[in-house]
Amino acid sequence: MEKTEKISIDGRKENTMKRKWIPVITLTLFMISMPLAATAAEEKWPTRPITITIGFSPGGGMDMMGRLLSEGMGKSLGVAMPVVNMVGANSAIAMDHVNKQPRDGYNLFGISSAVSTFPATGLSKLTYKDFGMVGIMFGNLATFCVAYDSPIKNGKELVERLKKGDLTGSNSGIGGMWHVPQLIVANALGGKFKAVPYTGGPTSALAAAKKEVDFSTSDLSEALTFIKSKMLRPLIVFDDKPYVLDDITIPPITDFVPTMKGKIAGGLGWRALGYPRGIPQDRVNKLIAAFKSTMASGTVKEFAKKNLLPLVDATGAEADKIFEAATQT
């Protein structure tokens, strides 16, 4: 009996000890699994669509950029990236909208160099301090055009009329990407013109083709269809070297205004993808990686070549510096 009792008592003691260890082991395993679960959750981002908001109308350079990135980055990240056009105030309305969204990486903003003029124009108080850059995709080639049958036939005649100050000129918005080159040229000439803002580069170009204005300024890519269909005549590119388009050589502004040689940089624009600051850095890094992957694709390179768009391909901190420098000039 003694032996049986001892075995029984020892058995109960052993079982009691086992029961005491079970919660300890369970807690330890739970604590070990917590960082692993957190890491897994981070790796799963994104898990739903990421919206790209563009502040200009469909069909323009910013819209084309947004849709290219939507396709390429969407494939890389494994989610849909719908493009939403929110037109108004030279994209200040769209910027303000994105700035009000949660800092979770699911809302991005198509930033044009026009945003750098906001402090001067008063359209918005938001600057590079509020928005970081995923990357800059394209530069631009500002082109001054007139209707194909306009009485103004060449760059020299356009410059003379700008000196006279009796022309109307369309652009994509006051203080915008195409208004800035107009102002720089007019100021260099001591001339003036009446600025007529439209909702984007294509509508600006169309305005000149329809003779709603005397001349337009837009990206060459945005005027290309009208040029090829002989609705527009390109007279000047905002550069210090000519641009050859098929059998047409478009002279640079410096051919007519030599003092412009040191002022070209101030009017060169760019198109980029940005985000409201405050998004977790690991998510920003994923966005940048997807941007780089898209930029390296044959689709983007072929698109840029076909549409006469200079590739920039600056990302992260490098692109941030460009945005900051443009705002300070």
CATH class of the domain comprising 147-267: alpha beta
What's residue 313's pLDDT? 83
What's residue 259's pLDDT? 92
Identify which of 162, 212, 215, 161 has the alpha carbon closest to the alpha carbon of residue 185.
Answer: 162
Q: Is the pLDDT of residue 15 over 60?
A: no
Lowest mean pLDDT among 17-21, 97-101, 149-153, 204-208: 17-21
CB 159 within 8 A of CB 256: yes
> Comparing 231 with 269, which gets the higher pLDDT?
231
What are the extents of the domains in the chain? 51-140+269-328, 147-267
What is the distance between the alpha carbons of residues 265 and 255, in angstroms, rounded to a whole number? 16
Q: Is the pLDDT of residue 317 over 80?
A: yes
Per-residue pLDDT tens for 52-84? 999 998 988 899 999 999 999 999 999 999 999
What's residue 40's pLDDT? 46
Percent of the chain with pLDDT over 90: 71
Average model confidence (pLDDT) for the chain?
A: 89
Q: Is the pLDDT of residue 38 over 60?
A: no
Q: Is the pLDDT of residue 1 over 60?
A: no
Q: What is the pTM of this model?
A: 0.74
192 φ/ψ angles, rounded to the nearest 5 degrees: -160, 170
- Band (pLDDT 50/70/90 cuts) for residue 216 is very high
CB 23 within 8 A of CB 50: no
The sign of the CA dihedral 207, 309, 60, 175 is negative
Give the Cα-Cα-Cα angle 128, 87, 198 (nearest 5 degrees): 105
What is the distance between the alpha carbons of residues 171 and 174, in angstroms, rounded to a whole number? 8
What's residue 61's pLDDT? 85
First to last CA, the chain: 99
Other C-beta atoms within 10 Å of 317: how many?
Answer: 10
CATH of range 51-140+269-328; options 3.60.20.40, 3.20.20.60, 3.40.190.150, 3.40.50.10800 = 3.40.190.150
Lowest mean pLDDT among 46-50, 57-61, 221-225: 57-61
What's residue 20's pLDDT? 53
What's residue 275's pLDDT? 99
Q: Is the pLDDT of residue 302 over 80?
A: yes
Per-residue pLDDT tens for 247-272? 899 999 999 999 998 888 778 889 99
CB 178 within 8 A of CB 90: no
